[in-house]
Structures are given as structure tokens and as C-alpha cells.
Amino acid sequence: AAMVKETIRVYARVKPLGRRQQAGSYSVDVEEEPLSSLEITVPRDLADGFVNNKRESYKFKFQKIFDQEAKQDVVFDSIAKPVAECVLAGYNGTVFAYGQTGSGKTFTITGGAERYSDRGIIPRTLSYIFDQLQKDSSKVYTTHVSYLEIYNECGYDLLDPRHEASRLEDLPKVTIMEDSDQNIHLKNLSLQQATNEEEALNLLFLGDTNRMIAETPMNQASSRSHCIFTIHISSKEPGSATIRRSKLHLVDLAGSERVAKTGVGGHLLTEAKYINLSLHYLEQVIIALAEKNRSHIPYRNSMMTSVLRDSLGGNCMTTMIATLALDKRNIDESISTCRFAQRVALIKNEAILNEEIDPRLMIVQLKKEIQDLKDELELVTGKQRTTELSQEELLQLNDLIETFLKDNDPDSTLDVGADMRKIKYCFAHMKQLMNHPTTSDKKLLSQDIPEEDTNNETGEELEKLKELLQQRDNEINNILVNMLKKEKKKAQDALFQLNATSAGSTVLERSLSINLEERQSPSSCFSLKEAKEFSSSVHRLPFLFRQTGGRMSLGCQEAFEVFQQDHADSITIEDNKRLLKQRFAEVKCLGEKLNEVRSKINHLKGEITQRHIQRAALAVSNPSEELNMMDPVEKKLRMQIEEEKKSYKTMFSRFKGLKVEIEHLQLLMEKVKMKMQKDFEVWWSEEAKNLQQEKPEMVTSPNTVTVYPQFIKSSQHLSTSSFSETIKVSSNEDPAGKNNSMTFSNRTLKTSTPPSSTTPIPLTGDSQADADILAFIKARERILQKKG
């Protein structure tokens, strides 16, 4: 198989400086083709303390350096696209980002959460790969994705649907299994089929969301965990049994920051320790690989190095991006990152073409070949052939053999004709005669035995053999059928899961993909409403559902709305909403225009037909005219049609582009919304805790919550066991004392005991709702105070 030997390509990307950050001193030099170099100068004040040796300037070489202003598309084009191309050709590929927390790993690999143009390497790679697959009709492709998170040396399947409902530690762990050929297999990591870009993006989004859900302030998963998004591609030419399989790992590593070891006298030493153990093992593997004549590479020390074994010094095209935050405070971490990168650049990989033969396809192919040959033989001999010789033929052969053996003439031959079955039988029979002369003697002597008996005996034996053969045949068939059934079931399961996760998107799909060839009536135009419904239907409040067992109380909902307005991300949401609206309008407009152009084309076609009819009529009345000549009117009409088609095509590709953008924007918005809900959840439970601590007497028992009358302006509303009016917070609860009335319209509070205005009102009906209201009142106050 073809093999490509290459060192790991190492790139650097410098993150834009924050507004309040002080720039560190560095320079990028691209003159030394083909490599670029990055020179970092350590300021004197730092050089004394942080960096142990006396050097002040450090120079590192990279394949290419992307400075602060480099955009995502450029980064994708030069870093990930070449790897994706190799993967499409059947080689394995890996792109991994390495750098301290906050240096832009996630931004580079996955993308920013705000703008469409900020989408990172994963969505761009998916887009590129599916585009290429669509263009290539010479092969049949299947694509799957998996998304693995490694946290604390444990692997989790980010695409596991149970993620939403359970805690991280309750999920089945992904474990490593090694087969006899030392290939790594990952147990409990699902491979989800993705037939197009949209399905793959949905899976990416699902995984990112699950990652976010699992993260709590206690486990800073996003900086301490490694995420490996893998695209699996298999391809096959139609009719061929050879399959090419390749994998593309897109890896967002844990933050590379180290804990500085404090030396004697409080001095900081350069050789600091990783916070993350797997990164420590990664570095060991890399050091081992860079050393010459080193035979043992400690891949097995950690889960991550096991999973990435092929990517590091193995069968893979590998690329690393060192992400750097080159402000003054992060200079030393950046130097560490660059040093690591220099070592990685020494590793040689050998990527081989991953081709294999599918035994099932092979069987099918061989069976077909046999049938073809049989047919051909039948044609040539003019005789039908079965696999077995008939009894008559066998007897005939026995006779021939016997005669042949008895014949002492050295020139005698055994001629059975050009029939492999007969030739084989003769050899087998003679072998038997040689090995068992006694039985064969008997057989040879069997001439004396009446013919009928012999016939019966061989007949029975033959029947038995036939039965046995039939039995074996059935067994083989059963195995094959079971194999196929299993595969089918697997495929269906995967499909089912996929449908379950992306059920909402089909609505959008339906509404966006107007198939203009089929559309006839203008009433079936693009539906804006449908698409909008979709955008609000995906993934609603998974966290709160989880916490309250499927329901979010009303007070809590109301508080959430207030919280939402106050949240920093609401600006992003609003911006994106506006953009989305604009895009929807554009798509709608384009859809209408496309329909228009289509009807125009149809109209022109109609005109041409009319013209034909006219000309035909003219030909009848006036023969011999210049009928063979091209009608100039028709020519003009045709040209017009061509023009319209051209504009149709450009509009349609723009339409498709917009569709992808809309989907992406929707996913981004959902992500931000979910983040907000998560923040809210944390804040909400804290508020509830605070409230309980401040006013313990309010909660008398878990089931009876008392509301002080001063909270409620007119208590008689409560006696009707529902209130849909205004609740006023009394002035001693609210120092501002104004503009803080809240309307609970159509909210129902069940009360079992009639309230009295002198004693605290027990609201025992729904303690959750009662507590929510109290907490809400409190929460709103806090927000108002915060807002000043």
C-alpha cells in the first residue's frame, strides 16, 4: 500500500490581545522559507525571576505563524484542509491544538460562539468533506462521527443521549480494548452515522452541549478535559470488495498551563509541572518519539496517548497548532508551549493507505464469478452441469478406472473427458484404492455381488452426503443472514438515535429545501413560519427539566426571564436574532425570486412551443420556405432561457449557503441560551440557599411554606385559591418601594387552608411553587439592586 512519511507539521497561532492586556514583545519572521520563525523577548523584570537561565530572547520555528489578525478561513485553508484531503484519499489524519487555557484552542478547533464567520476547524472541515463527497460520484461513501471527552483519565461519550439526564459519573465509561493485532478499540463510544453536513453539525452541537451540561464550577471540564471529535469515512467503488477507511481526529486538548515548582528561597524554576496528568504523559511520549533509537514508547500510560497512538509517530498525517497568548503575563507559558511544539516537530509519522477487503463482499463477488463461469461452461459444452456427478456417471467412472488399472498395456490411458469433476473423482477414488487396498479389493471383487445391492449401498451413502451438504449449506446461510440482520439493526438503531436527536431539524429541512423542479403552485413557497417554529423547538431547558423532574415552576420561569434580560450574553442573542431575522428574510426573498425565475423559464419554454406550432402551420401552408433554418425568434428565446438559468444557478447556490448559515446561527443561539440557563440554575439555587439562611422561620417544614401577609397586598385573592392580580412587595422588603409590582396572570396557587390577615398564610398546596415565589421576590430585588 502507498505510504507517506512525514514529520508532524507544527503551526502557531497568536491570539488577539485583550483590551486590558499588555503586549509582550515578539516578532514574526517569514523570510526563512519554507519555515517561519517566532522570536519572543523576555522582559528583564521577568527574566530575573521566572526564567531560570540568562537568555532574554527565544527563537522558535514553525511551518507557519498566524498572527493576531489571522481569520478562521485562512487558518482552516492552510492547516486543516490539506489534512482533510488526505483523509478523503484514505489516510488517517489528526489536527490538535495545544496551549494554555484561554489561548484560543477551542476557538480554533470548534469556533467562537457568536459569529458565523468565527466557526472553527470542525464545522469547516465537515462542510468541506461533505462538499467533496457530493462531488465524487465514482465511490460510495459512508460517514460516521464520534465525540470523546477525556476527563481525569476517564473517557465519556459526548454523543451518548443519556448525557442530558444523568451525572457524568453515572455514565458508562469509555474504555480501551486492544485486540490481538494491537489495534485500539473504544468500548462504549458510539459511532453515529451522519449522511450530510447538517446531521454532522447537529451531532457536534449535541456533544458541545453535553460537555457544557456536565461542567460545574467544581469540575472545570473545559480547561481540564481533552475532546476528540472524530470523522470516520469509508469509501468503496461500486462492485469492488476493497474498502478504504480513514479517520480524522480533531482534538482540543486540556489547558497546558503548569504549576510552577517553587525552589529554595521562593525562586520559581523553569521546569514546572503540568496540572493535567495526561498532558504529562503526552509530553513523555513525545520526548520518547523524538529520541533516536528509542524502542519503547509509553503510549499505554494514559487514555489519551492510547487513543492518539496512531497520530503520534504512527499511521497518520498529523498537524499541531500551538495557540499562544502573547501578552506580558503569559510569556513564560507561551515559551513552554513553543518548546513543546519544537519537540513535536521532530516526530516522524508514516501514513499508510487504509485499504481492506470486506469478506462478505468477497463472498458475494466470488459467488457471482462462479455463476458466470458455470454459465459460460454450459454455453460451451451445451450441457447443464450440477455440482455432483450422477450415480450413473459414478458407476461408469468406477468401471473405467477398474479397466485402466487392470490393463497392463503401458500405453493405456484413462480418458474421462474435459470434466474437472470426473478427473477429481478419479484421483480421489484411486487414492482410496491405494490407501485401503482391502476395502478396495472387496470393492473390486464386488463384481460378483448382484448389481442391485451395490446400487442401493452407494445410493444411500450419496443420499446421506447430500443431506449433510444441505445441512452445512443451511448453516452457512444462517450465519450470513444473522450477520446481515445484525448490521441492519445497528444501522437502524443509529438512524433512530439520530432521528431522535435531530427530529426538529427535519422541519427546517422541509421548509428550506424547496425543490424547484417539483414546485408548481406559488402556495408551496418557502415557509418562514415553519422555520421559526423550528428555531424555538430545539432543546428546551434541559437543565431545569433535569432538576425539577420535567417541569419548571412558574415563579422560577418568571425569574429566569428577568435573569435573561440581565445576562451579558443577551446582547449576543439579540444580535444573532436580528441577523437570523435578516437571513430569514433574505432566504424568503431568494426563494420567491427563484420561484419567479422558474416560472419565467417555464413561460419562455411555452413561447418556444408556441413558436414551433406556428412554424409547423406555416410549413403546411407555405412549403419550400426556409424551414430548415434556425428561427431567429426561437434562438433569442433560447438565449433568454440560458440567461435565466444562469441567474437561477447563482441564486440557488447563494440560497444553499444561506441555509447552512441559518442552521449554524440557530445552533449558536441555542448554545448561548443553554449557557444562560445553566448560569441561571446555579444562581437560582444559590439564591434559594441564601433565602433559607436569611429567613429560616419562613420555611417551617418542607411541606408548609408560609407567606407573610405584608407580601401580599390583597389577601382575599388567595382565598379563591387562585390569584391573577398584582402582588405588591411591601416597602420594608423593598427600600426603593416603587415600580416593583409583579403581575402573575393566570398563575394558580392552590391553598388548602383559608388565609387570615393576622397570621402568616400557610400555602401548603404546592410548596415548590410557594418557595419559588418567595425566592423570586428576593431574586428580583437583588437584580434591581444590582442594576442600581
182 labelled binding-site residue: no
Classify residue 747 as left (phi > 0), alpha (psi -120 to 50) or beta: beta
Interface with ligand ADP (CB under 6 A), residue from 107, 147, 156, 543: 107
Q: Let me know how long the chain is.
A: 788
Give φ, ψ of 163 to 5 degrees. -55, -40
102 labelled binding-site residue: yes
Residue located via cell numbers 498525517: 317
Give the DSSP H/E element, type plus range, for residue 247: strand 242-252
For 296-351, give the DSSP string: ---GGGSHHHHHTGGGTTSSSEEEEEEEE--BGGGHHHHHHHHHHHHHHTT-EEEE
If binding means CB under 5 A, how many residues of this protein chain bind Mg ion?
3
Contact 247, 231 (CB under 8 A): yes
DSSP state of 711: G
- Give the residue among 60, 53, 55 at the shortest CA–CA distance from 27: 60
Minimum distance, C-beta of residue 337 to ligand ADP, in the bound complex (Å): 11
Three-state SS for 527-585 is CHHHHHHHHHHCCCCHHHHHHHCCCCCHHHHHHHHHHHHHCCCHHHHHHHHHHHHHHHH
Judged by CB, which is closer to Mg ion: 222, or 311?
Answer: 222
Minimum distance, C-beta of residue 255 to ligand ADP, in the bound complex (Å): 6
Give the DSSP H/E element, type plus range, for residue 156: strand 154-157
Residue 99 in contact with ligand ADP, rule: CB under 6 A: yes
Judged by CB, which is closer to ligand ADP: 9, or 15?
Answer: 15
Provide the terminal-to-terminal Cα distance of the chain, rounded to the nearest Å. Answer: 71
Q: Which stretch binds ligand ADP (CB under 6 A): 101-109, 356-364, 405-413, 463-471?
A: 101-109
Contacts to Mg ion from residues 187-226, by CB under 5 A = 222
Residue 112 in contact with ligand ADP, rule: CB under 6 A: yes
Residue 105 in contact with ligand ADP, rule: CB under 6 A: yes
Judged by CB, which is closer to ligand ADP: 99, or 207?
Answer: 99
Minimum distance, C-beta of residue 664 to ligand ADP, in the bound complex (Å): 16
100 labelled binding-site residue: yes
Instruction: List the grid coordinates of 540.
Output: 428546551
Q: Which stretch binds ligand ADP (CB under 6 A): 94-102, 328-336, 621-629, 715-723?
A: 94-102
- Residue 282 and residue 249: Cα distance in Å, rounded? 16
Interface with ligand ADP (CB under 6 A), residue from 63, 103, 235, 311: 103
Contacts to ligand ADP from residues 582-641, by CB under 6 A = none
Contacts to ligand ADP from residues 216-245, by CB under 6 A = 223
If binding means CB under 6 A, how many residues of this protein chain bind ligand ADP?
14
41 labelled binding-site residue: no
- Residue 427 and residue 487: Cα distance in Å, rounded? 43
- CB neighbours of residue 526 within 10 Å: 21
Judged by CB, which is closer to ligand ADP: 101, or 599?
Answer: 101
Contacts to ligand ADP from residues 253-272, by CB under 6 A = 255
Q: Which stretch binds ligand ADP (CB under 6 A): 28-36, 102-110, 294-302, 469-477?
A: 102-110
Torsion, CA 572, CA 670, CA 152, CA 124, rounded to 10: -80
Residue located via cell numbers 428565446: 637
Give the DSSP H/E element, type plus range, for residue 356: strand 355-357
Q: Which stretch binds ligand ADP (CB under 6 A): 103-111, 204-212, 333-341, 640-648?
A: 103-111
Would you tell me the crossing angle of helices 420-435 and 437-445 to the nearest 10 degrees? 110
Judged by CB, which is closer to Mg ion: 112, or 765?
Answer: 112
101 labelled binding-site residue: yes
24 labelled binding-site residue: no
- Give the residue among 32, 28, 34 at the shortest CA–CA distance from 12: 28
Residue 106 in contact with ligand ADP, rule: CB under 6 A: yes
Residue 505 in contact with Mg ion, rule: CB under 5 A: no
Residue 323 in contact with ligand ADP, rule: CB under 6 A: yes
Minimum distance, C-beta of residue 686 to ligand ADP, in the bound complex (Å): 24
Residue 106 in contact with Mg ion, rule: CB under 5 A: yes
334 touches which of ligand ADP, Mg ion, none (CB within 5 to 8 A by kind)? none
107 touches which of ligand ADP, Mg ion, none (CB within 5 to 8 A by kind)? ligand ADP
112 touches which of Mg ion, ligand ADP, none (CB within 5 to 8 A by kind)? ligand ADP
Residues that bind Mg ion (CB under 5 A): 105-106, 222
Binding residues, by number, are: 99-106
Binding residues for ATP, by number, are: 99-106
Residues that bind ligand ADP (CB under 6 A): 15-16, 99, 101-107, 112, 223, 255, 323
